[in-house]
Amino acid sequence: MAPKKKLVRSLFPAAAGMVAVGLWGCGADAGGSRSTDVSPVNSSQAVSTTSTLGARYHATSAATSVNQITPLISIVNGGTAAVDLSAVKVRYWYTEDGTQAQSYWCDYWGLRSDGQNNCSNVVATFVKMATPTTTADTYLELSFNTAVGSLAAGQSSNDIQSRFAKSDWSNFNQSNDFSFDATKTTATDWDHVTLYLSGTLVWGTEPGGAAPPPDTQAPSTPTNLTASNVTSNSATLSWTASTDNIGVAAYDVYGSSSSTAIGSVIAPTTRYDVSGLSPSASYSFTVRARDAAGNFSAPSNAASVSTQGGSGGSGSYALNPPDPCYNQFWVAGCETGTCGGRCQVANACSPPEDPQKASLPMTFACPRFMLFSDEMNQAAKDDWGDPAPFAYGVVGHDADTSGLDVGSSSCCQCYQLIFERPEPGSPQPPDLPIPKPMIVQSFNTAAGGGKNFDIYMGAGGFGAFNTCVAGTYSGTATTTFGHFMYSAFPSDFPTSGGIKAINIPECKVNGTVTLASMQSTACQSRITQLCNNTAASSSTVATATENSCIQSNAVAGFYHQNWQIRAKRVECPLAITRVTGCRLAPQGLPAANPNAKTPATADSSFRTGYTTTTMQDCCKPSCAWQNQVGGAGLTVVDKWTSFYSCDQNGVPITAP
C-alpha cells in the first residue's frame, strides 16, 4: 500500500549563477544548477515511432497563468530489456518568462510497488537554450542517481510529481510552452516531453525538430568471453563490453541453444553467474549484446566450462531463490489471488513485529547463516579451494557512509574482515592466534552502528530480541507470538555475548582468561557442555548450533568475542550468495584478497576503526525483506532479491 503523498516546500539560498533545488525523499535535500547549453539544441532530432522508451504526461491544471508549473511525467519501457535509469534524462520545455532564479521540488515518486518515495534519487537542472524558439527558451532536465536502479521491460516508472517556480513566485505563461498541454488530463503519451538514453534522444521531438530514421544498427560483438570461479554446479562468465550507436541495453547469455537465452544482465554489467549446472559436466556459453530497439549483435566467442566433481560440493546448499510470497511487506496483487491471496507474513519476533500479525505465517533467521555451518564451510571451499583462506558468515551492520559503504542500506553487501586485537580480558596476540580473515554478508540492520559487524553464530547472545527459546531474560524482549526455533537453548549470558570463554568461570585463573586457562580441559569441557544444551525439532538445526558455538570458541579461531578489526567492502563471491539467497549485481568492487590475512599483510584499502560483536536471536533479519534491498535502491541479480527466511524448523522458504 503506497504512503500518502507528501507535499513539501524546501527552499534554500542559491549562489550566483545557480538555482536551488529542493528534493523530498528520506528527508534529504540536494542541489541542482542552472546552465547554458554549450552547443545548440539539435533541432533536427526527434524520435521515431519505433522507440521502446516513452514519456507520459499529465497536466494537473488547465490554467495558463500560474506561479508554479506542476507536470506529472512518467517513463514507460516498452522494450524487452530493463533500462538503467541512471542513463536516462527527461526534458520538459517551456518559456521562462523572466530572468529570476528557479527552484524545483520533487514531491513524490512511487517508482515501485512498495510505495517508497524515490525523490531523493532525482537530480534537477534548469538549462537555458542556446537557440530559443517561440515555444521554449529553457528546459527542465531530470536525471537519476545510480541508486534508483533499473526500469523493467514492460513497466512504467509511475508519475514523478514535480513542480518548479521562480524565486519571487511571479507567474509563468504556459499558453506558449512547448511541453504544456491542458487537454491531457490523464497520463497520455506525449512527444513534447523528450527522453534521452546515454545522451541520445530516444523519445519525443525537441522544439522545431523532425523525426530521424529508426535505429537499425546492431551493437558490436562482445569479446573476450571467459569463465572463472568454476564449482561443481556454477561458474562466472565475464566479457568485454560492446558498443552501439545509441547504447547497449542488455546482454543475453546462451548455452547449448543459440536461439533461447538462459539469462540476461542489464548493461553496463559484463558478468553473469551461471548456476544449476551438473557436476563433472562440460558446457559451452556465448553472449550477444542487445540495444533498446531490439537489434542483436553477433554471438561472442564461446567459453567452455568443465564443472568440478560433486562430492560434498555446492549441491548441498544451492537452492531456488527466496519465495517472493515471504519476503515482501505487502505482496502486490494478493487481493486478486497472487500468493494464494495472502498479502503478508510475520517476523517471529514481536517486538519488534506488529502484534496484530500473530495469526500470520511466522518466519525466522536461517541456521545455515551461522558461522561454521556446513553450508558456509562448503561455500568457502567452493569459492576458494580446500583449505579455504576465509571463514564465511553473515553480520548485522548499519551502512557506514563515512567511506566504507554507499547509500542508506548495507543489505547483501559483502566485506572482508581482518582481525587485529581482541577485547580486554582475553588472551592477546601473539600468544592468541589471529583468526582466519572472514568474508561476511550483511543480513541485518540496526546492529550497533556503521562501525560494527555483529557476527551471527551459535549461542552468540540475544541482544534486544529473542525468538530462539521461551523464557524471560534480563535486557531481552522475548517474542509474544509464542513460536520458537528451539525447545532447549544455551541462553546463558544472553546480553553479554552468549557462550564465550571470557564469560565462563572455568576458563579463568584469578578472574582472567589466559591462553593456558582457555586451553584447559575444564574450560573446553564447560564450553562443550553449555553449547550442547540445545534441542530442536530438527536435529540438523541443533547440531549446527552446537558446532558453531563450540568451534567459535576454539583457540585457533576465537571469533566468539569482541574484536577490533579492519574492513573492506568487496564483491560477493558466488557461493556465499547461494547460501544466503541474496545476490547484488556487480558494483565494480575489488574481489577479496586471500593474501591479506593479518594487519601486517593488509594494505591501505582496508579501513581501520571497526569492531565485531556476536549474536543469535533467531529473528527474521531485515535483509530477508526485499523492500530493504531492491526497495532501498540496490540492484539485485534476477530473483535473488533478499536473504532467505526460514520456517520454525530452520528450513529455507524458497520459490517453487
Kind and range of the H or E run holding 543? helix 539-551
Quick check: helix, strand or coil at residue 549?
helix
Instruction: Give the sign of the dihedral formed by CA 571, CA 577, CA 580, CA 583.
Output: positive
Can you name the residues that pair with 619 across neighbouring β-strands? Answer: 364
Domain boundaries, the chain: 21-203, 223-311, 366-617
The answer to whether residues 351 and 477 touch, using CB atoms and an 8 Å cutoff, is: yes
Query: Whole-angstrom Cα distance, residue 308 to residue 378?
Result: 14
Q: What is the pLDDT of residue 257?
A: 80
Rg (CA), the chain: 28
Query: Whole-angstrom Cα distance, residue 21 to residue 34?
Result: 10
- 10-residue mean pLDDT profile of the chain (656 residues): values are 31 29 32 34 34 86 94 89 88 95 93 82 92 93 89 88 95 96 93 90 82 78 89 83 88 88 84 80 92 91 81 62 94 88 94 92 96 93 89 96 89 97 92 95 88 96 93 94 96 92 93 92 95 93 94 94 96 93 91 93 95 96 94 89 95 92
**pTM, 2 dp:** 0.61
The answer to whether residues 254 and 326 touch, using CB atoms and an 8 Å cutoff, is: no
Q: Does the domain spanning 21-203 belong to CATH 2.60.40.710?
A: yes
Residue from 624, 633, 620 nearest 585 by CA: 633
Residue from 124, 241, 247, 142 nearest 197 by CA: 247
- Tell me phi and psi for residue 293, to 5 degrees: -85, 0
CB burial of 405-442 (b: ≥16 within 10 Å; e: otherwise) equals bbebbbbbbbbbbbbbebbeebbeeeebbbbbbbbbbb
Residue 332 CA, distance from chain mean position: 20
Q: What is the pLDDT of residue 211?
A: 52
DSSP 110-154: B-STT--B-GGGEEEEEEEEEEEETTEEEEEEEEE-GGG-EE-TT
The answer to whether residues 637 and 585 touch, using CB atoms and an 8 Å cutoff, is: yes
3-state secondary structure 565-592: EEEEEECCCHHHHHHHCEEECCCCCCCC
DSSP 441-495: EEEESSSS-TTEEEEE-TT---TTEE-SS-S-BTTBEE-SS---S-SB---SSTT
Q: What is the pLDDT of residue 82?
A: 79
Domains 21-203 and 223-311 alike in fold:
yes
Task: Give the type of residue at 611.
Answer: T
User: Which CATH code is given to the segment(s) 366-617?
Assistant: 2.40.40
User: Which CATH code is given to the segment(s) 223-311?
Assistant: 2.60.40.10
Cα separations in angstroms, 479 against 70, 346, 397, 498: 48, 12, 22, 18
Quick check: helix, strand or coil at residue 35?
strand
Cα separations in angstroms, 370 against 134, 209, 260, 411: 67, 61, 39, 17
What cell does 406 get? 554507499
Classify residue 39 by its DSSP letter.
Answer: S
Can you name the residues that pair with 39 across neighbouring β-strands? Answer: none
Query: Whole-angstrom Cα distance, residue 434 to residue 600?
Result: 11
- Residue 593, Cβ neighbours under 10 Å: how many? 19
Q: What is the pLDDT of residue 213?
A: 60
Query: Whole-angstrom Cα distance, residue 645 to residue 582?
Result: 11
Query: Whole-angstrom Cα distance, residue 580 to residue 637?
Result: 13
Cα separations in angstroms, 188 against 53, 177, 185: 14, 17, 8
535 contacts: CB under 8 Å, gap ≥ 6: 486, 487, 488, 489, 542
